[in-house]
Structure formats: structure tokens, C-alpha cells
Amino acid sequence: MDVKALDQALVNIVNKREELSKLNYNNPKYDDLEEELHDLEDDFQEEYGDFLESAFQQVHDEYCPDNDVLMPIGYLGQGVPVEVDKLPGKDTRLVLAPGPVRIILSVGKEKQQVVWSAAK
């Protein structure tokens, strides 16, 4: 796996999302940027989806086995809420982050733990 290419593809999506978030729906550039974002996400899923889904499956098996694994792109940004057996009642999320590509277990707003890294 080319980890640098994976990271760059993820950074490109993050940047495109940020660019899109700065526009309102009435902006003539909005639709084109949204289409570019969807193309980036589709390409990302096609190229890296299986690899990342396997990583998320490992993390889910260890931390939140009762939750289904979603498409990797869904974990980007705000992340996906999960129920961690060892942390009942806590606001826990799994987040996919670039630089380097990693999966973070976020507990509330105060704690983040890297639970997987593509660099390994």
C-alpha cells in the first residue's frame, strides 16, 4: 500500500470539503465543487476502500464489536458514533484522519487515542 498516496488522497478530500463548506448553495461554483468532491470520494473508495474497511473491521472488533463497519469515507471529519463496551455512556466516535492516515477513537471532547495507523 502506498501510504503517501493514501494520505494525499485523504488530504485532497478534506481540502475539497473545506472549500465547499465556504460556499452557499446559490454560488454558481457550488455544484461543480460538489461534483468534484463526489468524484474524489468515489475514487478514494475504489482505490483504498477495501484496505481501510479491513482496518476499521480490526478496530471495531477490538473496541466496538456491536457496531457495523461503514464505508471509510463516512468516518472522515466528525467521525462515526460507536458504542465502546469499556466506555459505557460516553460520547465515543471513530474518526479517519490524514497526516499520517490513522483511525482515532475520540471520547467526548477531551480525549483522543490513535487506535490504528497506516504507517504500521
Q: What is the pLDDT of residue 60?
A: 97
Q: What is the pLDDT of residue 120?
A: 62
Q: What is the pLDDT of residue 11?
A: 97
Interatomic CA distance for residues 80 and 67, integer angstroms: 10
Quick: pLDDT tens for 50-62. 999 999 999 999 9
pLDDT lower than 70: segments of the chain: 120
Using a cut of 0.75, tell me whether the model's pTM lies above it: yes
Q: What is the pLDDT of residue 109?
A: 86
- Which of helix, strand or coil describes residue 31? helix
Cβ atoms of 108 and 90 closer than 8 Å: yes
Identify the burial level of 46 via C-beta atoms within 10 angstroms of its C-beta, where 0-12 means exposed, 13-18 middle and 19 or more buried: exposed
Interatomic CA distance for residues 19 and 21, integer angstroms: 6
Q: What is the pLDDT of residue 119?
A: 83
Interatomic CA distance for residues 48 and 1, integer angstroms: 9
Interatomic CA distance for residues 101 and 72, integer angstroms: 12
- Which of helix, strand or coil describes residue 73? helix
